[in-house]
Amino acid sequence: MPLLDVRELVVRYGTVTAVDQVSFSLRAGETLALDGPSGCGKSSTAMAVLQLRRPDAGEVRFEGRELTVLTERDLRPIRPRMQPVFQDPYGSLSPRHRIRDAVAEPLKVQGRWTADGPAKVAELLDRVGLDPSHGARYPHELSGGQCQRVGIARALASEPRLLVLDEPVSALDPSVRAGVLNLLAELQDELGLGYLFICHDRAVVRNFAHRVIEMRDGRVISG
């Protein structure tokens, strides 16, 4: 059974059809890249997969369950298992919260904060290659690459099966990109995560993805 199976997905904004009958599937432990020029519908596909933007038509089957028919309430226990990581590492963190609080937040929101919470946060920071002492800092005291690692630690706190990575290294200096991509590859090996990886850097896609589908004007043109 695929981890994620998307069938004939459609997303419209008024009269614009941003995603037009897109289908693909993804297995656990696999990275599928969505490639294509700006405006071709990659982010809209990602948002619809995550049910952050409910699709206008089509199916999104995740771990065997059809999500598009579920209510917000029924989606609540499923949401932690599919986590986004966005392009802008600073933008996805609140400037007023310390790093340790940002990583603790999903545990607290999901009712999983217990006496060993601080130790779990330290472990998550260590897992993404950050010194646990970074937990006391604020986002502006970290580099872009370190912030993106915090974003990944926050996603891992939810114990996901799928990460939707929307241009996760595009905003980073070329010198730190490889480090973040290596971390993602290690986590995938270790945890068997599926990655839907949105990226328009051909070299990165070639090195990192197991399969690539190419989009143009809302449609899949190859892959």
Binding site for ligand ATP (CB under 6 A): 13, 16, 18, 36, 38-44
Q: Tokens standing for 202? A: 């051909």
Q: For residues 125 and 215, which CB has a smaller minimum distance to ligand ATP in the complex?
A: 215
- Report residue 29 CA to chain centroid gap: 14
Q: Where are the alpha helices (DSSP H) in 57-143?
A: 72-75, 99-109, 117-127
Rounded distance, CA 167 to CA 133, Å?
28
Least Å distance, CB 19 to ligand ATP, is 7
Least Å distance, CB 38 to ligand ATP, is 3
Q: For residues 162 and 198, which CB has a smaller minimum distance to ligand ATP in the complex?
A: 198
Q: For residues 60 and 187, which CB has a smaller minimum distance to ligand ATP in the complex?
A: 60
Least Å distance, CB 50 to ligand ATP, is 13
Least Å distance, CB 151 to ligand ATP, is 18
Q: For residues 146 and 148, which CB has a smaller minimum distance to ligand ATP in the complex?
A: 148
Least Å distance, CB 56 to ligand ATP, is 12
Pairing of strands 194-198, 31-35: parallel
For the sheet containing 194-198, what is the strand order? 82-85, 162-166, 194-198, 31-35, 211-216, 219-222
Amino acid at 158: S
Q: For residues 40 and 124, which CB has a smaller minimum distance to ligand ATP in the complex?
A: 40
List of residues 6+ apart from 141 with CB closer than 8 A: none
